[in-house]
Amino acid sequence: MLNKVSVGVRNLQKYRLILGNELIDELEKLAAELKGIRICHVNSTQFGGGVAELLSSYVPLVRNLGITMDWQVIHGDRPFFTVTKSLHNALQGGDSSLIRSKEALELYETQSKANALEMDYNYDVFIINDPQPAAVRYFSDNTHAKWLWRCHIDTSEPDEEAWNFLHTYLKHYDAAIFTMAEFIPRDLTVPIIATMAPAIDALSAKNMALPRGLCREMTENLGIDRARPLILQVSRFDPWKDPFGVIKIYQLAKERVPGLQLALVGSLAADDPEGSEMYAAIHTEADKDNDVYVFTNLTGVGSMQVNAFQTACDVVIQKSIREGFGLVVSEALWKARPVVAGNAGGIPMQMTGNLSNYLVQSIEGCADKVVYLLKNPNIAARLGKEGKENVKRNFLMPRLMRDELSLVKRVLEA
């Protein structure tokens, strides 16, 4: 059988202190209408990356409503995940050469069949996340359940051959979910297509309120000089996050802000074979400068430490070239930190109003904005406060729960 992730317990009622009663009351009403329905999320890894981050909070919060929800993780070896990462990249408009080989496509199908055989099908609704497990629906004998495919990546300009290959399997779903309308391919043929943005959990260890002084002390224990300014990028070690561009941004900014430090905090995931190679390359580059620090989830920097870095830093960068949403942007804004980010994918959804002035296209433009915020801390503070309010209104977990459970109800009634 596929692994089922143990997720612990969350108390949804604590969100009443943050959001008030209206949304939580609406969720309880939805839960009553879905009583007895069994739902299962499926993805490709239980740690590392935004989907695992999201599900680790989302599943226990839904359970707290009295709804049965589980989380299964597919199996795969390095060759399989090399193919799925190539598919992921091609769907975002990147190189598609690997998936054009007959051997790669056969490997994807063979492992998908194996995963389909090992799934627990004792559910009424399956929500399959991203391309890696997308084909399990096609190879499943389950006919009574409803199947939803959730796409977390930017598919606005997919490689045509990669999309056509994936579309073969998506045709059999009852619904598809995208972060924004611009990501929906024009020829997608499923009965229901919905859009909903991801969300963060304000109550998690990664996002709970911590005193800034304590966070500075925590980063100091990891080698950061708390007396000097710090800029930060938190993300997977992935070319789409432009980590070498971030190092160049730091170098340009340091010419005007002497003593500047940069921390790159990244996660390594089992479903991303490119990650370890990218990490090694970044580390080699970082070793050339004593004020550039690289940390990972495999070296003791977990959720609480990421929280500390995001809270303690002076400016957060998210220099994505392509981005499905970018949970780390909402995480930083929730901590009232100013963010300078790539004008890509779902990031502009999070950076509205005055924050939109800090969406950038180039390395040089990003460096200029970073320097401006470092030299104008009052403006940085106002932007952080504005960003926190935007996250509170739009990107906390109860809103996502309402959107997804409402869609489940709609699909079941269709």
Mean pLDDT of all residues in 286-300: 90
Mean pLDDT of all residues in 102-112: 94
Please report whether residue 226 resides in a domain. Answer: yes
CA 93 to chain centre: 18
Per the structure, the complete domain to which residue 124 belongs is given by 3-199+396-413
What does the pLDDT read at residue 81? 93
Verify that 190 and 272 share a domain, yes or no: no
Please report whether residue 206 resides in a domain. Answer: no
**Residue 77: φ, ψ to 5°:** -100, 180
- The DSSP 8-state label assigned to residue 265 in this structure reads E
Please, which pLDDT band fits residue 143 given cuts at 50, 70 and 90? confident
Verify that 144 and 133 share a domain, yes or no: yes
Mean pLDDT of all residues in 60-68: 98
Yes or no: say if 203 and 297 are a contact pair by the CB < 8 Å rule. Answer: no
Please report whether residue 408 resides in a domain. Answer: yes
Q: 293 pairs with which residues across the strands?
A: 263
What does the pLDDT read at residue 265? 95
Domain of 55, CATH number, reads: 3.40.50.2000
How far is 323 from 330, CA to CA, in rounded Å?
13
Please report whether residue 326 resides in a domain. Answer: yes
Q: 148 pairs with which residues across the strands?
A: 127, 175
What does the pLDDT read at residue 2? 94
Please, which pLDDT band fits residue 225 given cuts at 50, 70 and 90? very high
Of all helices (H) and strands (E), which one includes residue 71? strand 68-73
CA 204 to chain centre: 15
Please report whether residue 46 resides in a domain. Answer: yes
Please report whether residue 204 resides in a domain. Answer: no
Give the three-class secondary structure for 325.
coil
Yes or no: say if 316 and 336 are a contact pair by the CB < 8 Å rule. Answer: no
- Concatenated DSSP letters of 12-61: GGGGHHHH-SHHHHHHHHHHHHTTT-EEEEEES-SSSSHHHHHHHHHHHH
Verify that 158 and 268 share a domain, yes or no: no
HSE on the CB side for 412, CA within 13 Å?
A: 18
What does the pLDDT read at residue 297? 79
Verify that 405 and 334 share a domain, yes or no: no
How far is 314 from 122, CA to CA, in rounded Å?
48
Verify that 223 and 346 share a domain, yes or no: yes
What does the pLDDT read at residue 96? 76
Give the mean pLDDT of the chain: 95
Q: What is the pLDDT of residues 365-387, one digit of tens each?
A: 999 999 999 999 999 999 999 99
What does the pLDDT read at residue 312? 98
Give the three-class secondary structure for 262.
strand
Please list, in sequence order, all residues whose beta carbon lies within 8 angstroms of the beta carbon of residue 141, skipping any fewer than 6 positions away. Answer: none
Closest by CA to 270, choosing from 406, 87, 74, 106, is 74
Q: What is the CA radius of gyration of the chain?
A: 21
Verify that 244 and 168 share a domain, yes or no: no
Question: Structure tokens of 18?
Answer: 């943050």
Please report whether residue 205 resides in a domain. Answer: no
Tokens 């470092």 locate to: 374
Range with the poorest average pLDDT among 53-67, 167-181, 267-281, 392-406: 267-281
Yes or no: say if 191 and 175 are a contact pair by the CB < 8 Å rule. Answer: yes
- Which percentage of the chain shows pLDDT scores above 90? 88
How far is 322 from 328, CA to CA, in rounded Å?
14
The answer to whether residue 270 scores a pLDDT higher than 80 is: no
How many CB atoms are closer than 10 A to CB 345? 24
Closest by CA to 133, choosing from 55, 231, 246, 34, is 55
Give the three-class secondary structure for 319.
coil
Verify that 400 and 377 share a domain, yes or no: no
Verify that 362 and 240 share a domain, yes or no: yes
What does the pLDDT read at residue 95? 80
The answer to whether residue 47 scores a pLDDT higher than 90 is: no
Question: Structure tokens of 206?
Answer: 């990664």
Yes or no: say if 172 and 139 are a contact pair by the CB < 8 Å rule. Answer: no
CA 286 to chain centre: 25
Q: What is the pLDDT of residues 318-352, one digit of tens each?
A: 999 999 999 999 999 999 999 999 999 999 999 99
Verify that 107 and 220 share a domain, yes or no: no
What does the pLDDT read at residue 208? 97
Mean pLDDT of all residues in 60-89: 95
Please report whether residue 176 resides in a domain. Answer: yes
The answer to whether residue 135 scores a pLDDT higher than 90 is: yes
Yes or no: say if 40 and 125 are a contact pair by the CB < 8 Å rule. Answer: yes
Q: What is the 3-state secondary structure (H, E, C) of 285-314?
A: HHCCCCCEEEEEHHHCCCHHHHHHHHHHCC
What sign results for the dihedral spanned by CA atoms 251, 252, 257, 263? negative
Please, which pLDDT band fits residue 198 given cuts at 50, 70 and 90? very high
How far is 278 from 272, CA to CA, in rounded Å?
10
- Which percentage of the chain shows pLDDT scores above 70? 100
What total number of domains does the chain contain? 2
- The DSSP 8-state label assigned to residue 98 in this structure reads G
How far is 309 from 332, CA to CA, in rounded Å?
10
- Residue environment code for 305-335, b if the CB has 16+ CB neighbours within 10 A, otherwise e: bbbbbbbbbbbbbbbbbbbbbbbbbbbbbbb
Verify that 232 and 271 share a domain, yes or no: yes
Q: What is the pLDDT of residues 161-192, one digit of tens each?
A: 999 999 999 999 999 999 999 999 989 999 99
Verify that 9 and 121 share a domain, yes or no: yes
Please, which pLDDT band fits residue 65 given cuts at 50, 70 and 90? very high
Verify that 72 and 192 share a domain, yes or no: yes
Yes or no: say if 247 and 285 are a contact pair by the CB < 8 Å rule. Answer: yes
